[in-house]
Structure formats: structure tokens, C-alpha cells
A and B are shown apart, each in its own frame.
Chain A
Amino acid sequence: DAKTTQPNSMESNEEEPVHLPCNHSTISGTDYIHWYRQLPSQGPEYVIHGLTSNVNNRMASLAIAEDRKSSTLILHRATLRDAAVYYCILMNSGGYQKVTFGTGTKLQVIP
């Protein structure tokens, strides 16, 4: 598995933007960059994914470096409900391969 590296924890003030980084220097050409988040006592939920271009959806934005060796998940205005563990995961286009979770980034949102 291509591995990802994320900071263990980050803090953000409520209503402020948050930039969650992820390094994936061994990414292959067919790997998509996926972000999931896990709220306490729940299963992970999909946030966003991308291949090469930056992506936006109603939850977040994903900025992908030109060499694809790193990416950043952007929450434009953090709310208390965004407090979760955020996982950056690489998945190839095949769709059936097992996924290995790293430690993720625990985001704390301060009121």
C-alpha cells in the first residue's frame, strides 16, 4: 500500500478555515486521494476525493500538489460538528483493494 502521513492533531477556532495536510510521496499514477472523517463512535464517512485537479464540494475543498505527493483538505469555516479524526487514504481506480488507515489527524474545534 502507498502510505500517507498526517499530523496527529490540529486545532482550529470555530468559524475559521482549517487546512489539514497529507503527504503521500509514494503515490502511483492510478491512485486517487480520498479523505474520510470519523466522528466519535461512528464509522468513517466520505468527505472528498480527487486525482490531479483541485476539487470542491459542499463539505470541503481538496487541494492537490502539482506533483501529487501531497494534498490539503480545506474546511472553509470550521464548526463544532467538524471535530473528528480526518483520514487521508489512497485508492486506485480498481475499487476493490483493501484500504489501510493511517493514524489520521484529530481535529479539535475551539468555540
Chain B
Amino acid sequence: GAVVSQHPSWVICKSGTSVKIECRSLDFQATTMFWYRQFPKQSLMLMATSNEGSKATYEQGVEKDKFLINHASLTLSTLTVTSAHPEDSSFYICSASVLTPRGYTFGSGTRLTVV
């Protein structure tokens, strides 16, 4: 149980275009989801906290107009990278809080490459 599905697993886009990444909780409701970014050989960096029905909370230094987060339902949060540039190329991971002692379940990640 407590599976988070992230889609797509990889995407290549042209510079200047927008890309949407979906994060779904398959067998539970997630009122809170988190979005991380991970550059090669580095740890996960929290970008924002996504709350169902309200605006996302962004970490310091993360541009909210560039990384649009929508959490319209209890099972879906989306991250849209707008006007993507090569420096946005990274591994993006979502996670959801699960009301069990296990804590958090993570998606499998999305490899974004901007060319």
C-alpha cells in the first residue's frame, strides 16, 4: 500500500517550453505532497510543499512563477516547469505524507532534460 506514481519518468523538451510532471497517490489520500529536485551526485533539495486546495509553500530561492504547483485533488499534485532552460535539467521527485509510522512515500522521479 501507499504507492505514489510519478509521470513521466523522463522527458526531453526544448528550451522555452513548459513541462508538466504529475504525482498521484494511488491507494491513499494525500493532503500534503512535497516536490524535490536533485542534481547529479547531490542530495534531494526540497522545492515546495503542496497542500490540497491551497497555494503551495515554496522554499527560499525557488521561483514560484517558474515552478507552478497545483494540488487540486487529494490524489494529484502537478509541477509545471515553465519556460524551461537547460539549467532546469534535473531529477524531480515528489513525495506524499502517509498516515502511518513509515512517514513518506516517494515517487520514482522524473528526469527532465532541456535542450
A residues within 8 Å of B by Cβ? 32, 34, 36, 38, 41-46, 49, 85, 87, 91, 95-96, 98-104
Contacts and interface: CB of A to CB of B under 8 A. Distances in A.
Interface string B11-45: 00000000000000000000110101000000111
A36 to B, nearest CB: 8
Contacts of B45: 101
Interface of B: 4, 6, 31-32, 34, 36, 43-46, 49, 91, 93-95, 97-99, 101-109, 111
B6 A34 contact: no
Nearest to A91: B103
Contact of A42 (B46, B103, B104, B108): B108
Contact of B105 (A46, A91, A101, A103): A46
A27 B99 CA distance: 21
Nearest to B100: A95
A44 B95 CA distance: 9
A43 B35 CA distance: 11
A34, A91, A95 interface centre (most CB from chain B within 10 Å): A95
A43 B103 contact: no
A20 to B, nearest CB: 15
B95 A43 contact: yes
A32 B98 CA distance: 14
A91, A99, A100 interface centre (most CB from chain B within 10 Å): A99
B6 A43 contact: yes
A32 B107 CA distance: 22
B103 A95 contact: yes
Given A43-B93, A96-B32, A96-B97, A104 B104 contact: no
Contact of A100 (B46, B95, B103): B46
A46 B109 contact: no
A85 B31 CA distance: 28
